[in-house]
Amino acid sequence: MAVNLVLIDALNLIRRIYAVQERPFLLNNELAENTKQQVLFNTAKGCEQALNKIIEQLQPSHALAVFDSQAPCWRYDIFPDYKKGRKKMPQHLADTLPNIQDLFMKKFVDSLVSEADEADDLIATLAVKVALRSQNVTIISTDKGFLSLLCPNIKVYDYFNRRYLDDEYVENKFNVKPNKLMDLWTLTGDSTNKIPGVAGIGQVTASKLLNQYGSIKSILSADDLKSSVKEKLEQHKEQISLSKQLLTLKLDISLGFNLKDIRLPIENTLAST
C-alpha cells in the first residue's frame, strides 16, 4: 500500500484558528470572561472543520497531529532568549487542547505530544524517515522552518491560503534553494524565534554568498571574500555555530510507534469524499 502521510503542525493550526475566532471579541486586546467559552467552542468547531477539509482534499492513508510540550524544549537550555517576547498561548486555550485532541481522534487522527523536543523536530524526524522509503508526506503548517525539508517526497501545505509552499515559492521569497535555507537563516537570523544572525548581513548578501559558495562552511574557508564580509563572519563564529544548532531540525528522535499505528481506516477517507 502506498503511503500518503499527513503530518499536522497542531498548534500552528489551532492557534491561527483561535486568533480568527478571538478577534471579533477582543476589547483593549483582552477577552472578556463571558465570551471565552464561545470563542473556545468556535475554535474547536473550526479545528474539526479544518481536519475534515484536510482529509477530504489530501486523501491521506496515514495522519498524525503533532503538539508541542507545555514545558520549554532543549533549545531554551542552550539559548534562554529563544522565542523571547513571543505571545504565550492563553491558558484557557491550553486547557482545552485535550478536547481538540479528542475531536481529532473521532476522525481517527491520533495526537503526539512532544516531551523534550519541539513538534517541529518530531515532524521532521517522521517526515524524513517516511520520505527515505520513497513514500509521500505532506506537512500542514505555515512554519517556514519546514521548507528546508522540501524534496520530491515531502511537501508543505499552507491550509489557510490553500496552497503548497514549494521550491518555486522558496526561491521567489528567499532567493535560495530549500536545502540552503538553514544556512541562510543562520547568517541573517530568524526574528520569528529571536535567533540572532551575523550583524550587517541581510538576506540579499546571505543568498548571494550561498549561491556563490554553496554553504556556510565553504564561505568561511573562501579566500576571495570581501574583507568587510570576512571580518563580520570571523567576529560571529560562535554565534554562527549556536544559531545553526538552534535552527537545525532534529531527524533522529526515537518515536516509539510504527506507521501502521497511525493508518486511517479506508472508510474514514471515503466518508470525506
Secondary structure (3-state) at 151: strand
In the β-sheet with 62-67, what is the strand arrangement from edge to edge? 110-113, 62-67, 4-9, 136-140, 154-158, 163-164
Residue 273: pLDDT band (50, 70, 90) is: very low
pTM metric for this prediction: 0.94
Predicted confidence at residue 29, as pLDDT, reads: 81
Predicted confidence at residue 114, as pLDDT, reads: 84
Q: Which residues contact 253 (CB under 8 A, 6 or more apart)?
A: 117, 121, 122, 125
Q: Which fold has domain 174-247?
A: DNA polymerase; domain 1 (1.10.150)
Contact 33, 90 (CB under 8 A): no
Report the distance separating Cα 251 and Cα 42, nearest Å.
35
Torsion angle, alpha carbons of 196, 202, 208, 212, to 10:
-30
Residue 271 pLDDT > 70: no
Contact 65, 8 (CB under 8 A): yes
Does domain 4-170+250-270 match CATH 3.40.50.1010? yes
Largest CA distance in the chain: 65
Query: Could you read off the pLDDT of 36-80 as tens digits, one per residue?
Result: 999 999 999 999 999 999 999 999 999 999 999 888 899 999 999
Mean pLDDT of 119-145: 97
Torsion angle, alpha carbons of 213, 223, 233, 82, to 10:
40
Q: Where are the domains of the chain?
A: 4-170+250-270, 174-247
Mean pLDDT of 117-130: 96
Predicted confidence at residue 1, as pLDDT, reads: 67
**Rg of the chain's alpha carbons, rounded to an integer?**
20
Residue 12: pLDDT band (50, 70, 90) is: very high
Which residues share a beta bridge with 154? 137, 151
Query: Could you read off the pLDDT of 215-227 as tens digits, one per residue?
Result: 999 999 999 999 9
Predicted confidence at residue 28, as pLDDT, reads: 77
3-state helix, strand, coil in the chain (%, to 5): 55, 15, 30
Report the distance separating Cα 48 and Cα 103, nearest Å.
7
Predicted confidence at residue 49, as pLDDT, reads: 97
Mean pLDDT of 149-170: 97
Higher pLDDT, 273 or 165: 165
